Structure 1
């Protein structure tokens, strides 16, 4: 389930502030080494077509480039943070926002927003949103749904917490 820096400092006979540096550096190293192997976000039309094919084949949901949601990760409140990390569920948290493919494999992740942020507010501050808006993500051109000839844009499936779109 996890451990505290204080408990780890007793186990390894290392000061808690040193443990915190080691944990941070270790996490950064893991992310740097494995991020592109584990989380592959397509950046070409052919890459996105593979994702949309998965949604079409498995869920009969066409033109879908991913499903997005967030998960609150419980944490102890940092000193003097007030309600900054306190979420609507009644505990302190940081947030994981993830875009997944049709088999629930992460294709994009953003971690670290405070628990008090909204789904829509968190999404507004992601690289994913800016690359979608600037059309730098490599989506294919609009494509008609089966049995139709009117092209529609590709889209992300989300719940109502992300708010209405234009």
Structure 2
């Protein structure tokens, strides 16, 4: 399978579900990668206990939490959810459209719905957002790491 071109290479574009562009660096775009923390463990445990009903209920809770997170985030002016599936979501918005305090509120709401935490990485490019998500996970999970916080280390 061929590797997709890297960001910044010809032929790379970022398009939201509504068809609008979300190019890195275009008009000060920020990207955010959301990933649920330790989501798989309760699901696997339910299956090991031969309880597919419990696994289904848990999976539905996580899906509901992610759907609510995507809807709440999308209500902010200029936010585009580029993909959402399982316990992952990737979004973009104009610089400053989402306040860091709002990220904390979204994380609290996610946890209230499904009983799990979520980590977030924010950056000026998709790769920087992914790197900051990894930092959030390595720093103990249940947190948001932005570009400025990543530089402080």
More helix by share: 2
Larger Rg: 1
TM over 0.5: no
TM-score using structure 2 length: 0.28
TM-score using structure 1 length: 0.27
